């Protein structure tokens, strides 16, 4: 560590690499679970790096490193217990429940289609638009629509089919 403090990069890399088994041992003795030991090692190495100038070369390095590793292990245990009270580990939860809002791309695409359909309907002649309004949008039967509009069923049917043909051509042309 003294050589690392003096600026020897190779000594510093070797020191950090050689500290890993020692830090793992300290973490295990503190009761850190196996799946969280790497987190403690990483936090300890970051602390060693940040605090390397505070090490006194006249004192034992192992004691200095052990103290840092123990404190990072305790920090990890505290963090885990805090998160464990608020978090639930259920990896399949999101896959089992559909999003109530749906896909935002679908709603955007749907609003584009509604706008396209509204423009196409507005461009229809009045009698064709009226036929679509009563037969398709309002859901009236042909007899009911003929009664409401005062037109013959055959005329209404012809207007409706011409409107559908025009709408199909308009929508396919827009897309």
DSSP string, the chain: -HHHHTT-HHHHHHHHHHHHHHHHHHHHHHT--GGGHHHHHHHHHHHHHHTGGG--TTS-HHHHHHHHHHHHHHHHHHHHHHHHHH----TTHHHHS--TT--HHHHHHHHHHHHHHHHHHHHS-HHHHHHHIIIIIS---HHHHHHHHT--HHHHHHHHHHHHHHHHHHHHHH-
- Each residue's pLDDT tens digit, 41-89: 999 999 999 999 999 999 999 999 999 999 999 999 999 888 877 777 7
Among 13-22, 100-109, 113-122, 152-161, whose mean pLDDT is lowest?
Answer: 100-109
Let me know if domain 2-86 sits in CATH 3.40.50.300: no
What's phi and psi for 152, nearest 5 deg? -75, 150
Contact yes or no for 174/116 (Cβ under 8 A): yes
User: CATH 1.10.10.10 occupies which residues in the chain?
Assistant: 120-174
Mean pLDDT within 143-157: 92
Q: What is the pLDDT of residues 79-94, one digit of tens each?
A: 988 887 777 777 676 6
pTM of the model: 0.49
Residue limits of CATH 1.10.1740.10 in the chain: 2-86
pLDDT-based confidence at 97, cuts 50/70/90?
A: low
Angle between helices 37-50 and 9-30 (to 10 degrees): 140
**Could you tell me the fold of the domain covering 120-174?**
Arc Repressor Mutant, subunit A (1.10.10)
How far apart (Å, rounded) are the C-alpha atoms in residues 155 and 152?
5
Contact 149, 134 (CB under 8 A): yes
């Amino acid at each position: 560590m003294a050589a690392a403090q003096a600026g020897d990069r190779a000594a510093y890399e070797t020191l950090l690499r050689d500290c890993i088994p020692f830090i793992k041992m300290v973490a295990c003795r503190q009761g850190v679970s196996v799946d969280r030991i790497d987190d403690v090692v990483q936090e300890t190495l970051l602390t060693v790096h940040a605090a390397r100038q505070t090490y006194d070369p006249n004192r034992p390095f192992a004691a200095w490193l052990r103290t840092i590793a123990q404190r990072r292990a305790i920090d990890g245990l505290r963090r885990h217990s805090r998160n464990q009270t608020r978090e639930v580990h259920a990896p399949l939860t999101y896959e089992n429940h559909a999003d109530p809002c749906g896909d935002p791309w679908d709603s955007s695409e749907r609003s584009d289609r509604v706008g396209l359909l509204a423009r196409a309907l507005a461009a229809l002649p009045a009698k064709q638009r009226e036929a679509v309004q009563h037969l398709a949008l309002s859901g009236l039967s042909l007899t009911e629509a003929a009664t409401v509009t005062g037109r013959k069923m055959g005329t209404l049917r012809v207007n409706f089919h011409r409107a559908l043909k025009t709408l199909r051509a308009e929508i396919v042309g827009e897309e």
